[in-house]
């Protein structure tokens, strides 16, 4: 005998709640923190799965790789099957999402339409990503795809891992749920599929997932349990003893409130004031990815963070990037993926640094002195204000070249860092935090160069390459095309060369670059 049908009204009510985003069950990662809905009336089964009826995945794989393909490799990027690429070599959007979300283990399984192909006859590669899927469970996930490299196809490999920890969902039209800027990293199989151009753990472009939930997916009908006659229990012949009265249960001890989580914020930093003035004298400074240029530096948007006031720790990551270009002097540097890791009185500023087409991830760029800051929150804001910062050896080395080394050394000051974290949507960052980068030491001479040979190259006293006219170089080609890749040069910022040539009295600046356009260069 078949089990009774679930009431139509009950099913419609559940579907409506899902569509409006009112149920925690629509969220693949964050429902883990919320109680699951009750099963349908008359059903002994676990909470049901819900269908995904539409949605998109917006992901660029890796911005530097896209630039490399259409730049140095002189190749092409084409989309197919409904996938689209944003203008100006932007990110890709895969649509037509179909799949399910299982309430029991908070698992999302979604597939998308379309593919993207990267080709270069010059560097002899042909790579296609197709049949893209997203799988999540709890706070982790993966982007899965078929990847074809020069005719060799690998089906359904985990191309990238997704970290949903700290990602807050947003709601759109028609009950759509959006997970914006989910951090992604390359897997070992993904690195192999791209012919070893990148390594496992390489930071990729963040992914934005939008899904539209539908009605519950019917589960299997329960099998009826056969009824068996029960034997009557014998009546006891002896009187039973009266049961003792139950003792009153002790009242539960109130538990302490859970610590608040970080929901937003920003980081303010100017890198190094004298370096900014030097670039501005004949080059160009641009921001991207949500970073904003201010009078005393830059603001970088919040990505994710962990904070513990009692332990005095902060681990905060920020999005956006800032690019310094001075084509006449051979300088093209980009700083991105900034992270502040602080514990007690000490901390470190990490950054991804790209110079002349090569990217070094998670560089320990500067040390931080937190001896005068408070980790306590005030009005739901944690403010680490104007934290003194100094170059590490690795940070100074990013400006080095093979000729005269770096104009900076470990211990030279850089601009102070301000980190502001908010613990609620109503919290407001104090205005003082928006103008806190300050100065990192005097710049070089503001007039024409030639008065001293030590001001540009040595880096003593925190001075950068002179901020005035340096040999009269012009901005040159600022088209933003990808610089050459595959070089073994420690960095493309040839600041020391400029100082050395001027010090020698030549009065001219030149850029020394190595050229090694081999296949498989890192972008």
Residue 430: the pLDDT is 83
Q: Tell the residue number behind the tokens 């690429």, with chain if given.
A: 85
The answer to whether residues 231 and 382 touch, using CB atoms and an 8 Å cutoff, is no
Strands (E), 17-139: 49-59, 76-80, 84-85, 92-94, 98-102, 107-111, 115-120, 125-137
CA separation for the pair 144, 124 (Å, rounded): 25
The answer to whether residues 32 and 444 touch, using CB atoms and an 8 Å cutoff, is no
What count of other Cβ atoms lies within 10 Å of the Cβ of residue 115? 21
Which residues fall within 8 angstroms of residue 401, CB to CB, at 6 or more apart? 489, 490, 491, 492, 493, 494, 495, 496, 497, 512
Q: What is the pTM of this model?
A: 0.42
Alpha-carbon distances, residue 126 vs 133, 187, 194, 474, 520 (angstroms): 21, 20, 10, 38, 12
Per-10-residue mean pLDDT of the chain, 523 residues long, equals 42 38 39 41 56 93 93 94 95 94 79 95 93 91 94 93 87 82 94 86 94 76 57 60 70 63 94 91 93 93 94 95 90 95 96 87 96 94 96 92 79 96 91 55 34 33 36 34 31 39 32 37 41
Q: Tell the residue number behind the tokens 């490799």, with chain if given.
A: 73
CA separation for the pair 63, 67 (Å, rounded): 6
Whose CA is closest to 186, among 163, 164, 170, 169? 163
Q: Using DSSP, state whether 71 is helix, strand or coil.
A: coil
Which residues fall within 8 angstroms of residue 181, CB to CB, at 6 or more apart? 167, 206, 207, 208, 303, 319
What count of other Cβ atoms lies within 10 Å of the Cβ of residue 280? 13
The answer to whether residues 178 and 216 touch, using CB atoms and an 8 Å cutoff, is no
H or E, element range at 455: helix 454-457
The angle at the Cα of 198, spanning 195 to 203, to the nearest 5 degrees, equals 145
CA separation for the pair 508, 15 (Å, rounded): 72
Three-state secondary structure of 241-281: CCCCCCCCCCCCCCCCCCCCCCCEEEEEECCCHHHHHHHHC
Alpha-carbon distances, residue 521 vs 123, 294, 398 (angstroms): 9, 35, 19
Whose CA is closest to 365, among 313, 307, 402, 322? 322
Q: Is 488 exposed, middle or buried (0-12, 13-18, 19+ CB in 10 A)?
A: exposed
- Which tokens go with 212? 């539209």
Whose CA is closest to 443, among 271, 213, 238, 278? 278
Alpha-carbon distances, residue 91 vs 61, 66, 135 (angstroms): 8, 9, 20
Residue 8: the pLDDT is 39
Q: Say how many CA atoms lie within 13 Å of 465 toward its Cβ.
A: 30
Residue 227: the pLDDT is 57
Alpha-carbon distances, residue 187 vs 2, 63, 158, 193 (angstroms): 47, 17, 7, 10
What count of other Cβ atoms lies within 10 Å of the Cβ of residue 391? 25
Residue 407: the pLDDT is 86
Residue 372: the pLDDT is 94
The angle at the Cα of 293, spanning 292 to 295, to the nearest 5 degrees, equals 140
Residue 205: the pLDDT is 96
CA separation for the pair 387, 496 (Å, rounded): 28
DSSP 514: -
Q: Tell the residue number behind the tokens 């921001």, with chain if given.
A: 287
The whole-angstrom distance between residue 137's C-alpha and the CA centroid of its chain comes to: 19
């Amino acid at each position: 005998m078949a089990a009774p049908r679930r009431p139509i009204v009950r099913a419609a009510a559940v579907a409506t709640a899902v569509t409006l985003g009112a149920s925690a069950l629509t969220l693949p990662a964050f429902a883990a923190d919320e109680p699951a809905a009750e099963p349908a009336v008359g059903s002994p089964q676990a909470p049901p799965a819900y269908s995904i009826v539409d949605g998109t995945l917006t992901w660029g794989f890796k911005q530097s790789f896209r630039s490399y393909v259409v730049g140095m490799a002189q190749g092409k990027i084409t989309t197919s099957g409904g996938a689209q690429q944003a203008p100006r070599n932007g990110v890709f959007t895969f649509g037509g999402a179909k799949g399910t979300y299982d309430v029991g283990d908070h698992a999302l399984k979604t597939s998308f339409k379309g593919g993207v192909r990267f080709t270069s006859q010059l560097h002899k590669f042909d790579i296609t990503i197709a049949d893209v899927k997203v799988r999540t469970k709890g706070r982790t996930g993966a982007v899965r795809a078929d990847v074809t490299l020069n005719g060799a196809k690998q089906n359904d490999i985990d191309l990238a891992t997704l970290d949903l920890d700290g990602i807050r969902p947003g709601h759109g039209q028609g009950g759509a749920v959006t997970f914006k800027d989910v951090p992604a990293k390359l897997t070992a199989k993904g690195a192999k599929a791209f012919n070893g151009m990148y390594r496992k753990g390489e930071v990729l472009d963040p992914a934005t997932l939008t899904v539209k939930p539908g009605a519950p997916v019917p589960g299997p009908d329960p099998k009826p349990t056969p009824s068996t006659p029960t034997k009557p229990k014998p009546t006891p012949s002896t009187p039973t003893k009266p049961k003792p009265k139950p003792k009153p249960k002790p009242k539960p001890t109130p538990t302490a409130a859970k610590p608040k989580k970080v929901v937003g914020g920003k980081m303010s930093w100017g890198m190094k004031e004298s370096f900014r003035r030097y670039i501005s004298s004949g080059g160009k400074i641009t921001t991207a990815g949500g970073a904003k240029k201010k009078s005393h530096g830059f603001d970088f948007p919040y990505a994710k963070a962990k904070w513990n006031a009692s332990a005095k720790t902060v681990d905060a990551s920020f999005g956006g990037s800032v690019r310094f270009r001075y084509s006449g002097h051979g300088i093209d540097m980009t700083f991105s993926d900034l992270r502040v890791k602080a514990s007690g009185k000490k901390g470190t500023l990490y950054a991804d640094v790209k110079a002349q087409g090569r990217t070094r991830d998670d560089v320990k760029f500067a040390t931080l002195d937190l001896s005068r800051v408070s980790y306590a929150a005030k009005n739901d804001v944690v403010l680490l204000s104007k934290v003194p910062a100094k170059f590490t050896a690795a940070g100074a080395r990013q400006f080095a070249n093979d000729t005269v080394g770096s104009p900076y050394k470990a211990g030279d000051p850089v601009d102070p860092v301000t980190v502001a974290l908010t613990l609620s949507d109503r919290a407001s960052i104090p205005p003082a935090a928006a103008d806190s980068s300050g100065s990192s030491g005097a710049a070089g001479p503001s007039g024409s160069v030639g008065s001293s040979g030590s001001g540009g190259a040595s880096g003593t006293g925190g001075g950068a390459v002179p901020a005035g006219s340096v040999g009269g170089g012009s901005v040159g080609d600022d088209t933003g095309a990808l610089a050459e890749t595959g070089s073994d040069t420690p960095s493309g910022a040839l600041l020391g060369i400029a100082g050395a040539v001027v010090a020698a009295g030549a009065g001219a600046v030149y850029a020394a670059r190595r050229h090694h356009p081999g296949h498989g260069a890192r972008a």
